[in-house]
Amino acid sequence: MGSLAVEVTVPANSSREVTFYLTWHFPNRMSWSPLDDGIDNRLTNYYATQYADAWDVAEKVIPQIPELEGKSLQFVNSFVNSDLPDVVKEAALYNSSTLRTQTCFRTADGKFFGWEGTSNVGGICHGSCTHVWNYEQATAFLFSGLSRSMREVEYGHATDDLGMLNFRVGLPLERATYFDRTAADGQMGSIMRMYRDWQLSGDDELLLKLWPNVKKAMEYCWIEGGWDADKDGVMDGCQHNTMDVQYFGPNPQMGIWYLGALRASEEMARYTGDVKFAKTCRKLFEKGSKWIDENLFNGEYYIHLIEAPESIDDIAPSLLKGLESKDLGNPDYQLGEGCLVDQLVGQYLAHICGLGYLTDEQNVKTTLQSIMKYNYRDDSNSDFNSMRSFVLGDEKSLVMASYPGDRPKHPFPYFTEAMTGFEYTAAVGMLYEGQTEDGLLNIKNIRDRYDGLKRNPFNEAECGHNYARAMASWGAVVALSGFQYSAVDQSMAFAPFEGSMFWSNGSAWGVCTQSDSTVELSVAHGSLLLSSFSLTDATQLTFEKPLKIQAGEKAVLDIR
């Protein structure tokens, strides 16, 4: 133990401020769960490669504090002074703080990893879980380099020779594939996130480096006994997913993720010159999209057709690990005819990626209206919940699933719960479809629960504190602004609006202010290089030579 004191004279009727800095330097951390396999369980924290010790931290960081605080305040002020609804600004900004909690960390090589959440004493659910991190958007739109490093880990280390992407990556990376399990939604969503991160960054080198394994991950769907073994564009095999169970038979959750992955793969394949593969993906996308609309849409929402395998031999060995249902002839833990809150999660990410509609547009709109009709709860007193109570008393929410019709005897485990990451996914979907009142209401209901009185406003929980999935809230910023950015073709787009909108692409950020005749595009951090600028009402400007805007600069564009 020790103490630290300073001597200061405080004259009468005056005050003095004394600042103490607490710095730390813990160079090592343990791997997710230490193993006895001869591999060192110690990891080195990234910051230990930047500073020699805690004193070095103090010497280097303290002089930078005024500048760092100034940049932070500039970011926050630009964001909160934009014309986004207050509840959206709060949800997005407060949840982005998860990136600075113990949910997340970087190793010595700079790569970024995350638990699903944390307990009071450590991380919960290891491995940068693909089917959880699928949902969040804050990392990609605020720190593109960190997001790309996750793709490097997934396709540079965690994908095996068959194309199976481990949905939990081991550490150190010599153990990357030790978990030896995949998740259908996690694998498909990761392909879409690869496309998103490439578009935001324009990192062709990374795409070309990882494309062979991205392609393998797509082809993995078609292995014997796999998710789409008959290669008809419809997932109907044994599909482990974020509900921590396996679905059997075609369903909207995995089916639409699959369609999104096919579209993303089509675009990446065409760019890399793999025209044949691009055509294959396009053909399967069109076939699968048509089939899902014709066979899963019941007039109100998309349902799950449970198709039990005839034999365990019909399931690829790599998909059998962790099998939950003991009776494959009548599998437990299925969605069935329920109305699932995030059945359109693949469409949510497709909109963010600019990949268009994956199924019929009107069916998408109707489905979101049905989620409000069947899953919305004005209070939580009347419905029985046998699982975790994230919502209490008169609090409002969207429950995971409702059953207007037949319900399986044993549905998937979490069907009576309400969890914010899933609610945000539905809410953002509503914003994209012009159902703005409903979308904002659902976001407000979440933030009313995390109001600082009942719960910590910076800590939306699921399986742990500061849960990664809740950063799906950043998707509302993208949806309401209509923001689309491609560093690949140097284009930027917004929805038409009156006022100011905050924008960010992961390496730069600023504000876009629109009036009747002009757009003022400012860059506060980073830089922009644009060949075209457009509004989604078909207004488009193409520049004779690329427009470059540096930090601290702005461009005024005439849109008359």
Q: Is pLDDT above 90 for 369?
A: yes
> Above pLDDT 90, what percent of the chain?
95
Least confident among 66-80, 382-396, 519-533: 382-396
Residue recorded with tokens 């997913």: 241
Of 117, 243, 236, nearest to 183 (Cα)? 243
Alpha-carbon gap, residue 390 to 281, rounded angstroms: 40
Tell how far CA 368 is from the center of its chain.
Answer: 19
pLDDT category at 32 given cuts 50, 70, 90 is: very high
Q: Is pLDDT above 90 for 384?
A: no
Residue 3 pLDDT:
87
Asked whether the beta carbons of 420 and 460 are under 8 A apart, the reply is yes
pLDDT digits (tens, 9 = 90+) for 468-496: 999 999 999 999 999 999 999 999 999 99
Asked whether the beta carbons of 235 and 189 are under 8 A apart, the reply is no
pLDDT digits (tens, 9 = 90+) for 167-207: 999 999 999 999 999 999 999 999 999 999 999 999 999 99
Residue 536 pLDDT:
86
Asked whether the beta carbons of 438 and 409 are under 8 A apart, the reply is no
Alpha-carbon gap, residue 556 to 105, rounded angstroms: 40
Alpha-carbon gap, residue 495 to 378, rounded angstroms: 32
Q: Residue 542's beta-bridge partner residues? A: 532
Helix (H, G, I), strand (E, B) or coil at 458: coil
Of 327, 329, 497, 349, nearest to 432 (Cα)? 349
Beta strands in 107-153 (DSSP E): 112-114, 117-118, 123-124
How many Cβ atoms are within 10 Å of 314's Cβ, its own excluded? 14
Residue 437 pLDDT:
99
Continuous segment of H or E residues that includes residue 398: strand 397-398
Does the CA dihedral 453-448-126-214 come out positive or negative? negative
pLDDT category at 123 given cuts 50, 70, 90 is: very high
Q: Is pLDDT above 80 for 1?
A: no
Mean pLDDT on 270-285: 99
Which amino acid does the sequence have at 283?
Answer: K
User: 143 vs 103, 156, 204, 427, 463, CA distance in Å?
Assistant: 16, 20, 18, 24, 24
Q: Report DSSP state, residue 110.
A: -
What fold does the segment set 82-481 form as a domain?
A: Glycosyltransferase (1.50.10)
Residue 324 pLDDT:
83
Of 425, 377, 429, nearest to 398 (Cα)? 377
Of 75, 360, 315, 296, nearest to 182 (Cα)? 315
CB-count burial class (<10 Å; 0-12, 13-18, 19+) for 495: middle
Residue 197 pLDDT:
99
How many Cβ atoms are within 10 Å of 108's Cβ, its own excluded? 15
Alpha-carbon gap, residue 253 to 332, rounded angstroms: 17
pLDDT category at 249 given cuts 50, 70, 90 is: very high
Q: Is pLDDT above 90 for 402?
A: yes
Tell how far CA 357 is from the center of its chain.
Answer: 18
Helix (H, G, I), strand (E, B) or coil at 437: helix
Domain ranges for the chain: 1-33+41-81, 82-481, 486-558
Mean pLDDT on 454-468: 98
SS3 sequence of 222-270: HCCCCCCCCCCCCCCCEEECCCCCEEECCCHHHHHHHHHHHHHHHHHHH
For 297, the token pair is 């849409």
Contacts of 92 (CB under 8 A, 6+ apart): 79, 138, 473, 474, 476, 477
Tell me, yes or no, if the pTM score tops 0.75. yes
Mean pLDDT on 546-557: 97
User: 523 vs 96, 477, 503, CA distance in Å?
Assistant: 21, 17, 9
pLDDT digits (tens, 9 = 90+) for 499-527: 999 999 999 999 999 998 899 999 999 99
Q: Is pLDDT above 90 for 146?
A: yes
For 108, the token pair is 């010595």
Residue 517 pLDDT:
87
Contacts of 81 (CB under 8 A, 6+ apart): 500
pLDDT category at 388 given cuts 50, 70, 90 is: very high
